[in-house]
Amino acid sequence: MINLKQLLTESAEPKGKTLLMESADYVRSGLEKVFSAGDKEVSVRRCENVGLGYIKSISEAIKVAKSEAQKVAKQYGYRLDEDQAKFVKENDFSQLDAQAPESALAKVTPDETDMSNPAERTEVQIAQEILKVIEQHLGEDLHPYHEEGVNKIKALANELLTMHGQSPTPSAPQV
């Protein structure tokens, strides 16, 4: 027969390897928070500190943190730069200038320029249609209040064309 009082008061804390595996889950969760913040760089030391927050043994904490950090980093688009002991965000387009030709080409993937794909053709047609509507219906007599927004729309449509390997319209504003 089960002694209910004993069952309720017993420590249910796992021992040994099970405890380490459970701690690794906590470390992984903590690392996901660190990497999901989207910082350009995350130091290896910061990842180790996450491990130390959940595992008492320093050597085990560092070992688990390094292992989990490499898995989580890849999931969030980071790569390990061992020379600088940092995880660096790959393909960070946030610093690129939308108007610079080299920046627009940096974002192009081979799938984007495949015009045999109906979805890609449709995107090009949409960008061309946006530019056509602006040219036909808004003309040159824009109130200064609206001019900035229209120029931004033109620039975005032209960026979309460039991403698909098409040449932008010559009347595109340089915002």
- Looking up tokens 């021992």 gives 15
Per DSSP, the residues of 94-112 read TT--TTSHHHHHHT--TTT
Choose the weakest-confidence range: 28-32, 33-37, 40-44, 156-160.
156-160
For the chain, the structural domain boundaries read 16-89, 101-163
Q: Residue 31: which of 58, 55, 66 has the closest Cα?
A: 66
Predicted pLDDT of residue 12: 43
Q: Is 71 exposed, middle or buried (0-12, 13-18, 19+ CB in 10 A)?
A: exposed
> If you average pLDDT over residues 113-118, what whole number do you get?
68
Predicted TM-score (pTM) of the model is 0.43
Backbone φ, ψ for residue 88 (5° rounding): -115, 135
How many percent of the chain have pLDDT more than 90?
9
Residue 11 has pLDDT above 80, yes or no: no
Residue-level pLDDT at 93: 52
Report whether pLDDT(1) > 80: no
Task: List the single range of 9-13, 34-38, 109-113, 161-165 with lowest mean pLDDT.
Answer: 9-13
What band does 38 get if pLDDT is binned at 50, 70 and 90?
confident
